[in-house]
Structures are given as structure tokens and as C-alpha cells.
Structure 1
Amino acid sequence: MLTTIVIVAAALLVGLAANRLLHRRLLGEEAEALSMRDLVEPLQTLAVLVLAFVLVMAAESYSKAEDAARVEAAAVDNLYEVADYAGPQTRQQLQAHVVCYARAVLRSEWPSMVEGERSSAPSVWANAFRTDFKAMSEDPRFDMIVDADQKRHEGRYDRLAQSTPAIPDVIFWFMLITLAITVIALAFTLPVKRRGTEITALVILTALLTASLLIIHDVDRPFGGLVSISPTEMTITQHDIDHDYADRYGKSKLPCDAQGRQIA
């Protein structure tokens, strides 16, 4: 990074020195100087490129968050189903823990992700899974059930990773300052007289650039904001396995409440 700064700064100094010492000799007295508009055009291009780059980053993060939520919901449903193959002493307990995990994700961790945080409630049941697995380590179906839990773990890990902003603050502020300078430069180059149409166009352009920046900020927080990802798949999974467990064992058998919190 230091090398980049030094080289660019040196290039600027060399250019200014050449302008002072060689400009008249090489280009003559009548050479046309750059206008303010000539300098604004590269700035506009830079602003658009930065905006497009950051928008792609935010959209990619949003898409990954959607995929992770979908994968986790499918993995939880699959883990509940393959738990049917466990021994009679482990089956009910493991399935109860899966139901509680789904409740904890849906009612505890999902609201926490709006603020870019995580909840410890699902981890309680993820730890309970490992206890269940130890009890069935000699079971021939052990590997199949552990693989199902591994997919569940990967889905949750990816979901939590994507819940935090993908765009670093320094990039967002750089983009904001670049757009602000671009708007100032465009306003400066407006004609002094008869500029009503130009001002209207500049106001519209400024509004569009601001809206783009706000959309990027919103999309970069996929579980909060106006375009937040809803827990549709996990809701369906939780509803299905909850009802299936109640039909088999009765609601009083669960070790958690409706929020997925462990019952002492």
C-alpha cells in the first residue's frame, strides 16, 4: 500500500513539474488548457465504477445469505429425518434437540442478526447433538447422522458469516466521499445563466446516486432493513418437525420452550 501511495504521489509531482518547466516549450503558448469539465468527467467515471463494484459486492453477499439460510433449513429437516434411524434410546432425544434448535434459530438468532449479532441459544442444542452422538458412536448409522449435522453446521456458519456487512466501512466512506465530490464538481460546472433545467437534472442525478448508496447499505445487511431475508424455509421446517414430534411423543416431552430456550 505504501508503495502505491509513493508511486502515485511521485507521478503527480513529476506531472506538475513537467507542466511548469516543459509545457510552453513542447505545446506552445496557444495550447488549450484543461477545463473544469475535463477534470469532472474522470471523476464521474470513478464514481460510477466504485458504485458498481460495491453494488456487486453487496448483491453477492445477499445472495450467499439467502443460499445459506436455505441450506441450513434443508439440513435441519434432513437431520430430523435421519434421526429416525438412530437407536430407540437416542432417537427421541436427538429429534427433540433438533426441534429446539429450529425454534432457537427462528425465534432467537434471527432477530439478533438484524443487528449483525448472533444468539447462543442454537449453540446449546448444537452441543446437545454432540452428546447424543457420543451415545450412538457404535451405531452403524452414526456416520450418516453426523454428516447430516455437518451440513447443518455449515449452513449456520455461512448464514452468520453473511449476516455482517461485506463492505468494509472504509470502502463505504470512500464511495460516499467520491459521490459527494462528484456532485459538488457537477454543480460547480453548471452555467451561471439559464440553468433551471440543468439544476433539475443535477437534483435528479443526486437523488438517484443517494438512493443507490442507500440500497447498497440496505442490501449489505441481508437480515435487516427494507429488503431483509425472511426465515421462510426455516419457518416451514420448524412447523413440520414440530408437528411431527408432537404427534409422536407429545408436546410435554420437549426440553425447550416455544422460543427455543432450554427448560431448567
Structure 2
Amino acid sequence: MIASRGVGSERNRYHVIITIVVAALALIGGLTAHWVLRRRLEETETPSLTIRDFVLPLQTLTVFVLAFVLVTASTSNGKADEAARKEAGVVDHIFEVADYAPASQRQRLQADVVCYARAVRAYEWPAMADGRGAQQPSTWTTDFRAALKQMGTEASAFNMLVSADKERSEARQTRIAESTPAIPSAVYWLTLAALAFLVVALALCLPRKNVLLVTSGLIVLTALLTTVLLVIRDVERPFSGAIQISPTALNGVAEDITDDYTAAYGKGRLPCTDKGVKKNA
């Protein structure tokens, strides 16, 4: 778990550093070019296109790309959060419906649900920082289905449990799928390149008068655009970074159903550890 978080954190830190360095170099390079070439820019008398003629299209392109990737990242993040909350609700529902299962399978079914929630929380959540799932929760879903087969289709709760388990599986798959970046790396680097070119172009257009004031404005604009790009990079990875989806809903459900299970069958009767690992028989 710690290793998974470490790898995800290292990757995020790498992209943050690269983004800041590229934006800073673009700003410094643009300002340097302005001071070096300003006399030539002022002395030119050609009526052909100048750098200023490219600023507006470049601004439009940069804003358009930023808006596109921001909407894409936000949509993916929202789907991941919705799937996580839905899964938590379905897990709670399955535990309650299992109360209507025959006595011979009831405890086993409810134990599988509790252990599944624990395994997702302890292993799959950290694994999603790297855009992948974990095997530990599948141990309990497999055992849950085996218990359903033993229960038989004649049981009154069978159809409800099968339907609820299907919803849980779909929510889990959506959650895992949305943990991967929604925006291809090529699009992100293209956006960063557009930002860098825009900053350089604006720096080349700085006037000779009120240079300090306008330069300060350019620095602020660069900082804002860089921040937006970093936020996009963070949001498109819902389960890692500074803005991440935490297992709050699942934690609450896991604690509630654990208490209910303990009240019904006694303390220490679960077949798994606090992390959802199967105990040795």
C-alpha cells in the first residue's frame, strides 16, 4: 500500500516539477528575448506580420485547449466520485438484504461483504493512485458468488442479491476505469507547449514604457495559467494528488456493517483481518 502511494506521488511530483520548470523557462526566455531584440523590433518598418499578430490566435488556442482538458478532467473525476459513492451504498444494501438469506448462508454472505469493503479500502484504493485495481477484494466477491450458488434460486433473497452484486461490480469497474488519466499525455504536453509559446509571445510584445507594471501582469498571468494546468493534471487523477477522492463513504459503510456483524455473530468471528486479508483456517 505504501509502495503504491509512493510511486503515484513520485509521478505526480515529476509532472509538477516539469510543468513549473517549462513555464518558468518560457517566461525567462521570453523576457530575455524581449530585452535583447527590442531595438530590432522597434526599428523594423516592414508592413508584414509581427509577433503581435500571432498573440490573439495563440491566446484563443491556449484558452480553448485549457477549457477542453479541464472539462474532460472534471467529468472523469465526477464519474469516479459518483461510482465510489454508489458502490458504498450498494455494499450496505447487500449486507442488509443478506439478512433475508437462509441461515446456512447468511453469515458467510455478510462476512464476505464486510471483508470486501475492508479489502477495497486497504488495498484497492491505494492501488488506484497508479490507475489499477487490486486482487484482494476479488477473493471475497468470488466467495460471495459461491455462497449464492449454494443458496439456490429458490431462496427469496436470491434475485435481490444477484441484482445488487451486479450493481456493485459495475460501480467497482467504473471506479477503477476512471482512476486512469482521462487526458492523453500528448494532449497535456501540447497544452503545456501552447502555454509556453503564449508566454514567450506576450513577453516579446512588452512595451518600453511601464515595463515593470506590465511585466508583473505577465508574471501573474503565467502563474495563473500554470496553476490551472497543474490543477487539471491533479483532477484527472481522482485517487492521487492533492485533490483526490477519499474512501469516506466506504469507510462509514465498512464501520457500520462491521458493527452489525459483530452484534449478530459476536466479536472475532470475521474470516478476515482489518485490512480484508483472509485469515488462516
TM-score range, shorter chain: 0.7 to 0.9
* Residue 168 (structure 2) pairs with residue 152 (structure 1): yes
Partner of 2:274: 258
**What percentage of residue pairs aligned between the two structures are identical?**
50
Q: Which residue of 2 aligns with 1:105?
A: 120
Equivalent position amino acid for 1:119 in 2: A
Structure 1 unaligned runs (5+)? Answer: 1-30
Aligned length: 235
What is the aligned counterpart of 1:179 among 188, 195, 220? 195
Higher Rg: 1
- Give the letter for the 1:88 counterpart: A
What aligned pairs does 1:89-238 form with structure 2 within 5 A after superposition?
89-138=104-153, 139-192=155-208, 194-238=210-254
How far residue 115 of structure 1 moved from its aligned partner, in angstroms, is 2.6
CA RMSD of aligned residues (A): 1.5
CA distance in 1, matches of 2:49, 2:149: 75
- The 2-side partners of 1:256 and 1:250 are apart by 14
Deviation at 1:114, TM superposition (A): 2.1
Q: C-alpha displacement at 1:251, in angstroms?
A: 2.7
Q: How big is the shift at 1:155?
A: 1.1
Shift of 1:173: 0.7
Shift of 1:168: 0.7
Partners of 1:57 and 1:133 in 2: CA distance: 40
The CA distance in 2 between the partners of 1:195 and 1:141, in whole Å, is: 75
Q: Which contiguous aligned blocks of 4+ residues in structure 1 show a shift greater than 4 angstroms?
A: none
Q: How far apart are the structure 2 equivalents of 1:119 and 1:250?
A: 29
State the 1:192 CA deviation: 4.0
Instruction: Summarize deviations over 1:93-128 as a string: whole Å, max 9, x none.
Output: 000000000101111211222232321111111111
Determine the C-alpha separation between the residues in 2 that align with 1:185 and 1:137. 71
Write the mapping of 1:66-105 to structure 2, written as runs, cut at 5 A: 66-105=81-120
Q: What residue in structure 2 maps to residue 49 of structure 1?
A: 64
Matches within 5 A, 1:9-20: none
Question: Which letter does structure 2 place at the counterpart of 1:84?
Answer: D
CA distance in 2 between partners of 1:82 and 1:141 (Å) = 7
